[in-house]
Amino acid sequence: MTSEMTLREKILLCEGESFWHTKANDTAGIDSIMLCDGPHGLRKQAAAADMLGINESVPATCFPTAAATGCSWDEELLTEIGTALGEEARAEGVAVLLGPGVNIKRDPTCGRNFEYFSEDPYLAGKLAAAHIRGVESTGTASSLKHFAANSQEYKRFSSDSVMDERTLREIYLTGFEIAVKEGSPSTVMCAYNKLNGVHCSDNKMLLTDILRSEWGFDGLVMTDWGAMSDRIAAFKAGCDLNMPGGSDYMLRETMEAVERGELLESDIDRSVGRVIALAKKKQAPVPCDMEAHYALARKAAAESAVLLKNDGILPVSDKSGVVFFGKMAKEPRYQGAGSSHINPYRLISACDAAPDVKYAEDVSEARSAKICVVFAGLTDEYESEGFDRDNMKMPPEQVALIEAVAAENTNTVVVLSCGSAVECPWADKVRAILFVGLPGEAGGDAICDLLFGRANPCGKLAESWPLSYEDALTSGYYAHGKKDAHYREGVYVGYRYYMSAGVPVRWEFGYGLSFTSFEYSDLKVDGKTVSCTIKNTGSVAGKEIAELYIEPPRGDFYRPTRELRDFRKVYLEPGEAKIISFELSDRAFALWNDGWQIPGGEYGILIAASSEDVRLRGTIIRPGSTSAAPKTPDWYFALKGKPTHADFEALLGRKIPEKPLKKGEFTMENTVAEMRNHSLMMKIMYSAVEGTVAKGFGGKKDYSNPEFRMMMASAADASMSAMKINGAMKNYVLDGMLAIANGHPLRGIRLMLKK
């Protein structure tokens, strides 16, 4: 088939037709197919298209985001959600649903943490795989994203994720590996950033050697929207589809590279074959049951909620005398801002779900209430795709409301809606705290089901909640003005750091309460088979998540004191007991040392109710099989203070070259935002971009508006080459501007005038 296509035709087939569609091709016998976001709901834009969730999309079920479902630890639930998502995509004639996102919550302030499952790659990978199995079961293709190491929003289009290979393998690839091997996604989306200096779109090690040759992925790799760097290198690397379409990006250069023998036509044919195969997978639309999906969204939100504190005030048996406080009781924060933002089929607030419960605008009603429930959390301007949070603080007015109500009435409960951990200095002043993440369209119903005892909370935190952002290891050097991401912390992410360094947290990874209680007993460790008994010792039915951690022997390799290796979620009636069992693979004991290796010694096998709450402990002796441990700076063993740049370079085994911004040395990698302080041309360009974006917001340059900030980040913080792909400006105009910015005005003007 490809033999009947011209080279030009083949190259163009590997780029989209428009923002959301691929190209049809008569020779190949394929139709154009539609790709749409997102990970927790279908965002199909029938009219104006964008990648930031700004223009309207068709109504779709808004499920809880991954920050919530990550706390469910429930693979079956994620498969049910994925199935519903796939059904809605299919019903709308959408062939590919862009998600799930499985990037690791490296730092609690990452703007997109709401879209990601966990700080732990095993938990993230298992839930992502379950989501993918659901979507793919309906005939809709999924797109595992963002591959890889896309762990900050700041300058995401041009940032370089720099890390050692062990950290990459153990922390930032393992989630993708599990999702690929156990989910079999039809597609993978490569990230905007570079990985150790090479753009993910051009990265053969990532897209072919690891993804395909090692993990067995046989689908299509597409770029994130505007993530293509060098189309020639990308064909060689195994990056098949450039999205969005419409720019003919590097068409001439690619054809010349084939003619000069610098690019094999067979590399292009390989990608063409994958584009054709994906298009041919598309299934005919079938209707789906939106009411059933609403019920599922309600169940999912209830299953994902985490009871962080409860002295017995919950569940409330008698609603009379309960008063709701806080704007979020009426106008819920139920999803995140950005490309995942959808138009919910139905949105139910807590006040909608409990019309018989009084709502108070202020605290005058607090004193007389029997129980006060304050709805609080983070609002869109605090966390979003496109930018990171500055810290972990909640909006001051919401902290003030919580404290004012608690001061008036000791019977105060807080319902917390946010996409990532927040500081909770008020926690000791209230009697119960229910964290619901971003709970989706049915969040109001689910919250009332939990508050009034129709459901029993069973979620457990999928990320650590430090007491303050300063306690987070990365807080001294993460994003916040630093373009390149130096993963100095290595494998010490989340609980791997807090527990190893003995830093106390407010609530630990894997923590969550229930309205009942559970007893763990009868641990048996037989070879790699581990089993134990879990019993419901309370008076109401409930689900318990039992977590299995390994505790490696100390030795020549630095290692976290404990790491999650498996988990089980079990439903138990009051008094009921069940035996659960685990099969531990060799990988459960391995670390990466230029290959997966198992240091010999005695490993602790911990069965726990949280990463800190160990209920049963056993051991397994493993024979050693490792090559020599690399020389490693002391910090990675002692964990005293924070790692320095020198520690990091020693861990890497190389110096990290400084990349000063210098007039005359600007490239298509640089952004308008970076160059505007070094070039009048770019300063003018930046204010022109600001003015253009502001037009969409009533002419106001409103940086307090998350959508404005996202638009500015994607317009002015995108590399000049990404601007070529997004069709922002003609290629030759951008070439000319870069020449002028580099101090060659005449050459620049000649380029800009060239047709």
| 717 part of the interface to ligand GLC, by CB under 6 A | no
Does residue 96 touch ligand GLC according to CB under 6 A? no
Shortest distance, position 16 Cβ to ligand GLC, whole Å:
11
Strand segments, DSSP code E, in 439-555 are 465-466, 485-486, 505-507, 518-526, 529-536, 542-551
Q: In angstroms, what is the minimal distance from the CB of 224 to ligand GLC?
A: 5
Where does residue 479 fall: left (phi above 0), alpha (psi -120 to 50 degrees), or beta otherwise? left
* Number of residues located near ligand GLC, criterion CB under 6 A: 7
Give the residue, chosen from 217, 225, 582, 648, that forms a contact with ligand GLC under the rule CB under 6 A: 225
- Nearer to ligand GLC by C-beta: 203 or 632? 203
Binding to ligand GLC by residue 497, rule CB under 6 A?
Answer: no
Assess 224 for contact with ligand GLC (CB under 6 A): yes
Q: Which of residues 281-340 bind ligand GLC (CB under 6 A)?
A: 339
User: Cα angle vertex 459, ends 291, 505, to 5°?
Assistant: 145
Neighbours of 61 (CB within 10 A): 28
Q: Which are the contacts of 396, defined by CB distance < 8 A and separation ≥ 6?
A: none
Among 15, 37, 383, 566, binds ligand GLC (CB under 6 A): 37
| 3-class DSSP assignment, residue 290 | helix
739 φ, ψ to 5°? -65, -45
Residue type, 523: L
Cβ proximity to ligand GLC, 348 vs 722, nearer residue:
722
**Per-residue tokens: 646:** 């020198």
For residues 459-478, which are near ligand GLC according to CB under 6 A? none
Of residues 37 and 471, the one with the C-beta less far from ligand GLC: 37
Is residue 224 part of the annotated active site? The answer reads yes
Judged by CB under 6 A, does residue 608 bind ligand GLC?
no
Closest approach of ligand GLC to the CB of residue 585, in Å: 31
- Which of 224, 240, 471, 566 is catalytic? The answer is 224
The answer to whether 176 contacts ligand GLC (rule: CB under 6 A) is no
Q: How far is the CB of 718 from ligand GLC (least distance, A)?
A: 10
Rg (CA), the chain: 26
DSSP alpha helix (H) spans, 138-264 = 165-167, 174-183, 204, 231-237, 251-259
Contacting ligand GLC within 555-594 (CB under 6 A): none
DSSP string, 351-373: HHH-TTSEEESSGGGTTT-SEEE
Residues 6+ apart with CB under 8 A from 687: none
Using the rule CB under 6 A, which residue among 51, 130, 180, 322 binds ligand GLC? Answer: 51
Among 33, 34, 42, 98, binds ligand GLC (CB under 6 A): 98
| Closer Cβ to ligand GLC, 224 or 735, answer by number | 224
Task: State which residue, 244 or 466, has the beta carbon closest to ligand GLC.
Answer: 244
Q: Could you give the residue ranges of the DSSP H alpha helices within 611-730? A: 635-638, 645-652, 672-675, 680-695, 706-716, 720-725
Q: Quote the least distance from Cβ 379 to ligand GLC, whole Å.
A: 21
Task: Give the shortest CB-163-to-ligand GLC separation in angstroms.
Answer: 20
Measured N-to-C along each axis, helices 443-451 and 290-304 cross at an angle, to the nearest 10 degrees, of 50
Minimum CB distance to ligand GLC, residue 670 (Å): 19
- Residue 36 or 163: the one with the smaller Cβ distance to ligand GLC is 36
Q: Is 113 in the site for ligand GLC (CB under 6 A)?
A: no
Torsion (CA) 471, 476, 477, 481 in degrees, nearest 10: 120
> What is the β-pairing status of strands 96-98 and 35-37?
parallel
Q: Is 33 among the residues that bind ligand GLC (CB under 6 A)?
A: no
Using DSSP bridges, classify how beta strands 529-536 and 518-526 pair: parallel, antiparallel or unpaired: antiparallel
Output 241 or 329, the one with its CB closest to ligand GLC.
241
Per CB under 6 A, which of residues 114..173 are in contact with ligand GLC? 145
In angstroms, what is the minimal distance from the CB of 143 to ligand GLC? 7
Q: Compute φ and ψ for 188, nearest 5 degrees.
A: -130, 140
Q: Supply the DSSP symbol for 211.
A: I
Measured from the CB atom, is 53 or 466 closer to ligand GLC? Answer: 53
Residues marked as catalytic: 224
Contacts to ligand GLC by CB under 6 A:
37, 51, 98, 145, 224-225, 339
